[in-house]
């Protein structure tokens, strides 16, 4: 396991308990999931979405998976962190609101790599045969933790999607890009009047201001850069754009955070 992946794993195992109480994360994952479903539907059809088998890469505690389950036929959530998945599985088993979707969601503890995109059992179940592969693969807030983003996008595109399947990725827009866009929003923060500080670099520091060592891409991405990564992975009909933005409070400071969405189809 590469260094950053090990640090990642240690971090998520250690903080899984508190993950769901990260400020605004509930709202952000709700908005992300809505956008993933909207984009998938716009590129296919509602009927196709309802009948689809989808994979969430880096499902964590299930904040997105639980929300996407009602919209699709079946969700497989893959995650490398035992702590995060334990949380997901606990919520799946105990939350009454998840009860109707219990049989739609499966999870697997696995570090997705190019040589082993899924474990043997899941490969046999989801990838085998001429029509094997997922109708849609998505990830939310995972890519900034990945060292070799092009490598992982290549793997998701070539080994996990079926033909005509869609890859949909959401993550944070880079500092430069959103500084540039910031003024268009003209938002004020909840305290009234003063603009939230807007630095993704500051976003990825601890309470003492030290950079978090489990984040590989501390500056985030631009939609354009991610579109290039998708095209290089051989995906077609690629579209990338800024998505929602909101103010978040972290370590007592306000940050304006903006998300992007990029999608592409396996030809
Ligand atoms: C910030 S969390 C996001 C969780 C969830 N998608 C959400 O929106 O709340 C990132 C997750 O990605 C997982 N992850 C990172 N790299 C991975 C890999 N190569 N294979 C599987 N999971 C990975 C981590 O274990 C972690 O749970």
pLDDT tens across 121-167, in order?
Answer: 999 999 999 889 999 999 999 999 999 999 999 999 999 999 999 99
Residue 70 pLDDT > 90:
yes
- Give CA angle at 14 (155, 75), nearest 5°: 40
CATH T-level fold of 3-172+221-243? Rossmann fold (3.40.50)
Angle 206-178-238 from CA coordinates, rounded to 5°: 110
Better-scored residue on pLDDT, 222 or 220: 222
Confidence class for position 177, pLDDT limits 50, 70, 90:
low
At residue 178, the pLDDT reads 53
Q: Which atom of ligand 1 is nearest to the CA of 19?
A: 9
Using the atom order of ligand 1, give the atom closest to the CA of residue 25. Answer: 9
| Confidence grade of residue 222 (pLDDT, cut at 50, 70, 90) | very high
pLDDT band for position 213 (cuts 50, 70, 90): confident
- Of the segments 35-49, 174-188, 215-229, which one has the largest average pLDDT value? 35-49
Spatial contact of 110 and 78, defined as CB atoms under 8 Å apart: yes
Task: Say how many Å lie between the CA of residue 111 and the centre of ligand 1.
Answer: 9
CB 54 within 8 A of CB 76: yes
Verify whether ligand 1 is closer than 6 Å to residue 36 (CB atom). Answer: no
Atom of ligand 1 nearest to the CA of 110: 21
| Greater pLDDT, 189 or 80 | 80
Cα(85) to centroid(ligand 1), Å: 10
Task: Give me the helix-helix angle, 82-94 and 3-19, nearest 10°.
Answer: 30
Is a pLDDT exceeding 70 seen at residue 53? yes
Q: Report residue 187's pLDDT band, with 50, 70 and 90 as the boundaries.
A: very low
| Atom 24, ligand 1: residue with shortest CA distance | 58
143 lines ligand 1 (CB under 6 A): no
pLDDT of 208 higher than 60 = yes
62 lines ligand 1 (CB under 6 A): no
Cα(14)–Cα(214) distance, integer angstroms: 12
Other Cβ atoms less than 10 A from the Cβ of 106: the count is: 15
- Of 229, 255, 256, the C-alpha closest to 240 is 229
Nearest to 108 by CA among 91, 132, 89, 131: 89
- Report the separation in Å between the CA atom of 188 and the middle of ligand 1, taken as the mean of its atom positions: 31
Query: Which of 54, 59, 64 is closest to 165 using CA atoms?
Result: 54
Q: Is the CB of 141 under 6 A from ligand 1?
A: yes
What are the boundaries of each domain within the chain?
Answer: 3-172+221-243
Q: From ligand 1's centre to the CA of 140, what distance in Å?
A: 8
Q: Tokens at residue 263, please?
A: 């999608």
Weakest mean pLDDT among 9-18, 33-42, 60-69, 105-114? 9-18
Q: What's the whole-number average pLDDT of the chain?
A: 90
Q: Which of 14, 109, 117, 142 to mutate to test the pocket of ligand 1 (most atoms within 8 A of CB)?
A: 142
| Residue to substitute in 80, 86, 243 for testing ligand 1 pocket (most ligand atoms within 8 angstroms of CB) | 80
């Amino acid at each position: 396991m590469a260094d950053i992946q090990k640090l990642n794993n240690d971090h998520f195992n250690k903080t899984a308990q508190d993950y769901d109480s990260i400020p605004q994360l509930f709202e952000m994952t709700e908005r992300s999931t809505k956008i993933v479903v909207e984009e998938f539907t716009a590129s296919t059809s509602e009927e196709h979405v309802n009948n689809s088998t989808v994979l969430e890469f880096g499902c964590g505690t299930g904040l997105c998976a639980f929300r996407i389950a009602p919209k699709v036929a079946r969700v497989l959530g893959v995650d490398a962190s035992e702590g995060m998945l334990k949380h997901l599985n606990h919520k799946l088993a105990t939350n009454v609101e998840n009860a109707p979707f219990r049989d739609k969601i499966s999870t697997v503890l696995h570090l997705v790599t190019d040589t082993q995109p899924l474990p043997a059992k899941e490969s046999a179940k989801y990838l085998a045969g001429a029509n094997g592969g997922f109708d849609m693969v998505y990830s939310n807030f995972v890519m900034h933790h990945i060292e070799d983003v092009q490598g992982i996008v290549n793997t998701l595109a070539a080994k996990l999607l079926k033909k005509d399947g869609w890859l949909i990725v959401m993550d944070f827009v880079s500092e430069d890009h959103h500084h540039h866009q910031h003024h268009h929003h003209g938002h004020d923060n909840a305290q009234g009047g003063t603009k939230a500080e807007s630095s993704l670099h500051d976003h990825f520091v601890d309470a003492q201001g030290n950079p978090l060592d489990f984040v590989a891409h501390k500056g985030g991405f631009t939609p354009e850069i991610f579109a290039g990564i998708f095209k290089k992975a051989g995906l077609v009909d690629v579209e990338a754009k800024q998505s929602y933005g909101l103010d978040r409070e972290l370590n007592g400071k306000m940050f304006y955070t903006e998300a992007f969405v990029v999608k592409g189809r396996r030809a």
